[in-house]
Amino acid sequence: MIILLAPWWAAAAPPQKASGSGRAKSSPAASAAAKARPDTAIEADIRARFLKSKTRSDGFTVQVQGGVARIEGKTKVIQHKGVATRLAKSGGARAVDNRIEVDPAARERAAANLEKGRRRAQVKRGAVRTEPTAAQSKR
């Protein structure tokens, strides 16, 4: 009876991959290091993302060392600083040193907008508006 089951058991077993190198399996840390991209590739990816975005007009400089991206430059749009950080992270940087300087006039405009309150596009649905909408003012 055992002899009859042996061929069935061999057929049901999943096929095993042959390891031609004869080396032991690597640790997860070693495989992660092997998958890590070189700094030049990360830097090129970040620069390409900057060129495709609205931040291209700011002309930010990017340097990647050890997987950490350092971004430098100046901008007149306060949101571009955060966008640059997100683009660098999505480009493969494991950390970002954002040294972008925001123009003082842009900071003042942002502070003034905050003092005014939420813009119409930012008002939550169902919230009571203090000013009439454009459609209400035409009536």
Residue range 106-129: average pLDDT?
Answer: 74
**Domain ranges across the chain:** 36-120
- The CATH architecture annotation of domain 36-120 reads 2-Layer Sandwich (3.30)
Q: How confident is the model at residue 58 (pLDDT cuts 50, 70, 90)?
A: confident
Tokens found for residue 117: 């309150």
Residue range 104-120: average pLDDT?
Answer: 82
pLDDT tens digits, 13-43: 555 555 444 444 544 554 454 467 899 999 9
pTM score, whole prediction? 0.59
pLDDT the model gives residue 86: 95
Q: List all residues 6 or more positions away from 59 whose beta carbon is below 8 Å from its beta carbon.
A: 73
pLDDT the model gives residue 26: 45
Q: Please check whether residue 113 is in contact with residue 72, taking contact to mean a CB–CB distance below 8 angstroms.
A: no
